[in-house]
Amino acid sequence: MTGLRWGILATGGIAHAFTSDLRTAGLDVAAVGSRRAEAAEAFAAEFAIPRAYGSYDELVADPDLDIVYIATPHPHHAENALRALDAGKHVLLEKPFTLNAREAAVVRARARERGLLAMEAMWTRYLPHMVRLHEILAAGTLGEIQTVFADHTQRLSADPAHRLNALELGGGALLDLGIYPISFAWDVLGPAETITARARLGETGADTTVATILTHAGGAISTSISGSRGAGPNTAHVVGTDARIDLDRIWYMPTLLRVTAADGTVLEEFDGRTEGRGMQYQALAAERILAAGGRDSDRLPLDESVAIMATLDAIRAQIGVSYPTAPTQE
């Protein structure tokens, strides 16, 4: 299968960014769906999309779509992924994959039952500088990895009514921001073996700052800080016995990578900056996977997405955050 026909489910800000990058890459955006017909029609007009639907059911029922990108709020990820999978469509599901690990496991089971691709849209993993990072790690340039640390801190709305602060919408720094450094730590060091987390909670009970310490195989340690009430450096670092990798701000977007030896010698500088936000690389990866007959991502396997959700569940349990949204039923 080549030249996938993409459908866009929901028309919010992240859907705009993703669709813009799809257009940059020359990919086929065939349809868009929203809960409101006028929103779908406006989105379609903006991006020259041939078909617009006033419901998600109509979108996924379109026989001329191959894959659906889901960009709804967190509590609706699972239900809309299941909707698309049941309609026979592959799915690229915006991060965090679901609201919790239980929902993630339900989506995984349905995708495998249907023989379809369900892939988390953790677009950072597919960026050029992240591909280069893994090449450097594979070459052994850093020696034995000791530490990974990253921050994702922004000054976002403190309005209690804002989605980010609404627990019923999965609000809080962890799922919106913390997912990036947690996923990065897993990507470099593998599964978290122990988890320690502390947080600062806002007026609504949603987490506004979250700090984590994870241990990984061989004793490696990762640390992260994520927050929504102040903008930090937003850099990331991988430190080994022989050298380190520094990712410039903003590390989770297309940026510069630098390799520095233990004696301070700069071994390599890699410019990963690219046109647009860089969200097209995950879409291109999905197209390659399906063209080769695959049903899982090598950069972020479905099992890993589920396991990362379990890590986020464990962090929330430690910081005392729970969501009132009912879990998706099997």
Mean pLDDT (the chain) is 96
C-beta neighbour count of 219 within 10 angstroms: 9
Residue 2 has what pLDDT? 53
What is the pLDDT at residue 192? Answer: 97
Count how many residues are written for the chain. Answer: 330
Handedness of CA 79, 81, 83, 86 (dihedral sign): negative
Full set of structural domains in the chain with CATH? 5-123+279-288 (3.40.50.720), 128-271 (3.30.360.10)
pLDDT value at position 1?
A: 41
Q: What is the pLDDT of residue 275?
A: 84
Determine which helix (DSSP H) or strand (DSSP E) holds 226, and give its type and residue range.
strand 221-227
Taking only the tens place, the pLDDT of each residue in 72-105 is: 999 999 999 999 999 999 999 999 999 999 999 9
Task: From residue 228, give the alpha-carbon distance in Å to each of 11, 22, 151.
Answer: 23, 28, 11
pLDDT of residue 133: 98
> What tens digit of pLDDT does each residue of 252-287 get?
999 999 999 999 999 999 999 998 899 999 999 999
Count of beta carbons in the 10 Å neighbourhood of residue 249: 15
Low-confidence residues of the chain: pLDDT under 50: 1, 326, 328-330
User: pLDDT value at position 329?
Assistant: 37
Coil, helix or strand at residue 326: coil
Predicted TM-score of the model (pTM): 0.96
Q: Of 141, 139, 143, 146, whose CA–CA distance to 259 is shortest?
A: 141
